[in-house]
Chains A and B, each alone.
Chain A
Amino acid sequence: MLSPRALVLRAPGTNCDHETAHAFERAGAIAKRVHVRALAAKPALLDDVQIVCIPGGFSYGDDIASGRIFALELALRMGDALHRFRDRGGLVLGICNGFQVLLQAGLLLADAAGRPRAALAHNRSGSFIDRWVRLEVRGPKCMFLTGLDAPFELPIAHGEGRFAARSAADLAAFDAAGQLVLRYTADQAGASTNPNGAAADVAGACDESGRVFGLMPHPERFIDATQHPAWSGRLEAGAAGAGLAVFANAVKAAS
């Protein structure tokens, strides 16, 4: 069987593209890093891939708001091609800055006109935070999260990750539709690990099909036990980290 192909889309300021491509390869995909200019010049690049991933970083500096300019560029220059890719069953994964881009570009949790119904605002603390959080999967909808039944840990690293819906009604609707698939949960001592004040503890969400998924935590930073902050003496070096499942699920779904 042929390995599925993943396109890791980068823009100026994207900075998690290498390790994200590495995680896809470790999960069995053939991953290629492609600059957004190259894709804009040749949207047909999407025809050869089954997975598109927008990785983390500070696209265009995130100077106006995180993901804003990258999202605008996607929407204006290759929005149609991406919608076609999604509509033919392509898998789309947005991690951290990529999640911000998916929301802003109207590719995820948008209304019929493509306007965003949710956003990722500044952390409640007002500051960038790098720490580990505990997560749980809600419902079976998202195919990137299959099999992650027990709570698991991943790191977050962002300044703008507070999930906020346009209205309480929007939030209830996403929840009712089972799209708020990844939530921050309490650590073993019972303390909340919601790092940013996200509404309903949302760490990640998917579209109606479950094939477009965005999340703030970084699964590519926990594909190997040695990436965990307390691995030494507790986890077996060389064992898979919880984040690898996200990529392995994508590979399986695309195969």
Chain B
Amino acid sequence: MSFSITEPSNRQKWIAGVLVIAYALITLMPLAWIIATGFKTPADAIAYPPKVIFEPSVEGYVNLFTSRSRVTPEDLAALPPPETFYDEIVRQYDMVITGPSKYGERFLNSIIIGFGSTFLSVFLGTIAAYAFSRFKVPLKDDLLFFILSTRMMPPIAVAIPIFLMYRQLGLSDTHLGMILLYTAVNLSLSVWLLKGFIDEIPIEYEEAALIDGYTRFQAFYKVVLPQAATGIASTAIFCLIFAWNEYAFAVLLTSGTAQTAPPFIPTIIGAGGKDWPAVAAGATLFLVPIMVFTILLRKHLLRGITFGAVRK
């Protein structure tokens, strides 16, 4: 597969390389700053002028994962010597660790809700897209347009009705409620993306499987699904990115049991308003799962973004 008519010259390659690196540096800057801030002390984090060179500290991460309370210097002196490095860090500030913070729970909620709704969106999307692609569905075009039309306004526009409905149905602040909500938002994207991919799979493969003695479902499962793997993977990434990063609904509909990490992270900053390293640490860790997921599926993602543009 070649996109250029002529091979680019070395100089052109050089210029392209420099541009790409410059662009990468600009976009990675905020990310690098967040990661760096996670390893600063609270004092370094708000220092002016900003510190580019600093002595790394894990204080942010300790604060992120712990709840602490202040004690008098006398009480602190009366305590037995600190057993661990994090005890030691906390005691510098006349504080003791009283227990774990809620970050772990919120992070787990994000994983359950993010991956749960992604799985559901892709599962339902694949089945629906297959049906739209292969069967005579009455009013097919109208249905497809209707499905797409659910994305024509920002989802948050229906926040109030959903808030009221969820309260009535007892879905507020539940995992199920958030999974259903994100699935509903993602499903239209998922159906449309996957229909495009399934349309590209020649129907003869399934017919060959039917002739070879397989049932329609077996043909779908054994022949269509492996062919659609690329589409499914890239759709899954798009769905996960949305569900993972969603903030507005999470603020509105969750407060405790089912609260995800995005609305929780800003609350870490605490009463003093100085704990930027903990916030940065929370944000850094929050990036990790989606980065891993995307890197694992990156080949599919590239093909997913350009799908339809290049015929195999």
A binds B: no
Binding site for A on B (CB under 8 A): none
Binding site for B on A (CB under 8 A): none
